[in-house]
Amino acid sequence: MSIVSDVLTLYLPGKRKTTPSGWTSFNAPCCVHNNENTDTRGRGGVIYEGDTVSYHCFNCGYKASWQPGRNLSYKFKKLLQWLNTPDADITKLALDVMRENEGVEVQQRKVELPTFGTVHLPEDSIRIADIKDFNKHSMAVVEYMAKRNLNLDDTNYYWSPQLGYRERLIIPFMYEGRIVGYTARTVGESKPKYLTDSQPGFVYGLDEQGHNKAFCILCEGPLDAIHVEGAALTGSDIGDAQALLLNRLGKDIYVVPDRDKAGSKLVEQAIDKGWHVSLPDWADGINDIGEAVEKYGRLYTLYSIVSAAESSPLKIRLKAKKWFT
């Protein structure tokens, strides 16, 4: 056991249990600090693997870890604070770790560059720009596009007459010129809102991030990305393979989260990656890029994103407190 494991164990709640898989579970202290209800079901977990220690909350999703050779991260220090570890003990531990790290080689976890197989779109899919005779279903899709300020020349939008897809806007996922997935967004009341075929590690819009761009705007959903010629995670978590693909662009990454709980967690992930975060001064009720475009138009929305991009973790966190309230 390491000195980090010793201190963490010392301040874990007395009421805890060990699972057969090796996790020590207890009521997570992080949930109330991440806009979730107080955990009473033992959803917090710590696992020790040699001298490496990892924490994961299976309720709000908060993660923190430490391994030999690394300094204590901001997230690990916050975890200790939430476990009521005295500040003096956290400061001493951080200094002790820094001293021990001298001359220690960190074992980096290797992340493989993802590969993507070719995927077929739903049967009988046709580019909307190529439709000659519109019916009520395809017309509903076009009307939805107009409402969302989506233009035919943005990308190759598709539509399919097949049952389950006829009232959906189909957006192909492209990688190196090939279709490797898609998402089909309902334009009516159908559930689920999205039917998606996506491969692990995929980032939407990478093919559009040419050498002439100084930065890449990264958001959660493809429709938002289309508005600003950016990239999208197709979710609110940054996977290791996704980060690898994005960092290979050799550009500054400007993360624009949605204005919700998932978005606030995405901000912390972006900070951990050393990326910029943009929290534009949009009016109350504007929760994502798409809504900003509806109110301000594409040009001003893009300007507001670039102008608000910040790289200082302290400044990002200070603004996030106001932006997400």
pLDDT of 103 = 64
pTM: 0.71
DSSP 57-83: ETTT--EEEE-TT-PPPHHHHHHHHHT
Instruction: Give 306's pLDDT tier (boundaries 50, 70, 90).
Output: very high
Domain boundaries, the chain: 3-101, 116-199, 209-325
Q: What's the CATH fold of domain 116-199?
A: DNA primase DNAg catalytic core, N-terminal domain (3.90.980)
Residues 138-146 have a mean pLDDT of 96
Tell me the HSE value of 316 on the side-chain side, using a 13 A CA sphere: 23
Instruction: Give 210's pLDDT tier (boundaries 50, 70, 90).
Output: confident
Lowest model confidence (mean pLDDT) among 60-74, 104-118, 230-244, 259-273: 104-118
> Does 3.40.1360.10 match the CATH number of domain 209-325?
yes
Per-residue CA distances from 120 to 179, 182, 184, 231, 309 (Å): 7, 9, 13, 22, 37
Residue owning tokens 């997570």: 28
Q: What are phi and psi of 80, to 5 degrees?
A: -60, -40
Residue owning tokens 């806009």: 35
Condensed to tens digits (0 to 9), the pLDDT of residues 50-101 reads: 889 999 988 888 889 998 888 888 889 999 999 999 999 999 999 888 888 7
Per-residue CA distances from 320 to 201, 254, 256, 271 (Å): 27, 15, 11, 12
Q: Write down the mean pLDDT value for the chain.
A: 91
Q: Which two tokens stand for residue 305?
A: 């994103």
Look at residue 98 and give its three-state secondary structure.
helix
> Are 116-199 and 209-325 in the same CATH fold?
no
The span from the CA of 45 to the CA of 64, in Å, is: 11
